[in-house]
Amino acid sequence: MPKKAKVKIEAEATEDKSLETAATEAKPARGAKTAAVKAALKAHKNKSPKEIAELLTASGIPTTAGQVSNIKSLLARKRKAKAEPAAEETTGPVVPKDAVSVALLVKAKKLVRELGGVKEAKAALNALAQLLD
């Protein structure tokens, strides 16, 4: 009689292993729940996270309202991060094309000093302009 009990225990252990294997095989692919939540958020923009979680749970994807809220806030954060650099590029002072910077004036002053005066510097620049054209 003890042999029958031993066989019965081994059969139960084998069934437990097959149940564990089936449970791991039934797991959805990594990121499947997030993709489903993103799709549901896109399709139902006016619904609350609780309502979206109920929709997904009914369709076979176990989800909580907290998970939906987290994914929703991550999407909003990404959208905000994308929008900010564009705003930074357009901001800044508008400088006319003929404006002269202080650094450029300092360089011009050095050139005038090296050439011996403003008239000589103008003559040198006019000669250079003729060579370049």
Residues 62 and 39 in one domain: yes
Whether residue 4 has pLDDT greater than 90:
no
Report if residue 23 sits inside a domain. no
On whether both 80 and 118 belong to a single domain, the answer is no
Q: Is residue 5 part of a domain?
A: no
Whether 24 has a pLDDT exceeding 60, the answer reads: no
End-to-end CA distance of the chain: 112
Do the domain assignments include residue 12? no
Sequential DSSP letters for 31-91: THHHHHHHHHHHH-TTS-HHHHHHHHHHTT----HHHHHHHHHHHHHHHHHHHHHHHHHH-
Question: Do 84 and 120 belong together in one domain?
Answer: no
Domain count, the chain: 2
Q: Is residue 19 part of a domain?
A: no
In a domain, residue 1? The reply is no
Quote the pTM value.
0.45
pLDDT, tens only, 104-117: 899 999 999 999 99
Q: What is the mean pLDDT of residues 37-43?
A: 93
Least confident of 27-41, 59-73, 93-107, 109-123: 93-107
Owning domain of residue 63: 29-88
